[in-house]
């Protein structure tokens, strides 16, 4: 299975359950792997045939920047669903890290994997 990835995408967001967290924007880091058949773009060498990681990144930034979720779990689920629905990938693996959330840890967060929903 081919994969297209985005690593270390940093986005400032309003996230958290504590009152002080609801008043500041905090950095979040996203690592995303998306299943995509790269044989066609490799054969055509055409950007139109690819899973455009710049377009995916811009959409994630737009969505996360406007979000106001309490939990990273909720945000991760919504971003994964957005990628599956809007970019037509078969599978997504998303790691969402919240740096500095726990003293002594570089980051905490969640890793989720979701396939495209079948009808």
- Out of 3, 54, 95, 98, pick the active-site residue: 98
Residue partners of 16: CB distance under 8 A and separation at least 6: 22, 26, 70
Q: Hey, what are 48's tokens?
A: 């139109």
For residue 69, what is the DSSP state?
Answer: -
* SS3 assignment, position 5: strand
| Active site annotation includes 98 | yes
Q: Which residues are catalytic?
A: 98
């Amino acid at each position: 299975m081919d994969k297209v990835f985005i690593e270390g995408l940093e986005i400032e967001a309003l996230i958290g359950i504590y009152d002080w967290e609801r008043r500041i924007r905090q950095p979040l880091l996203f690592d995303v792997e998306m299943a995509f058949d790269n044989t066609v773009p490799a054969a055509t060498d055409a950007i139109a045939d690819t899973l455009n990681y710049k377009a995916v990144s811009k959409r994630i930034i737009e969505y996360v920047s406007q979000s106001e979720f309490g939990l990273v779990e909720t945000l991760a689920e919504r971003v994964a669903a957005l990628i599956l629905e809007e970019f037509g990938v078969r599978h997504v693996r998303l790691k969402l890290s919240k740096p500095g959330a726990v003293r002594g840890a570089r980051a905490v967060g969640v890793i989720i994997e979701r396939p495209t929903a079948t009808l």
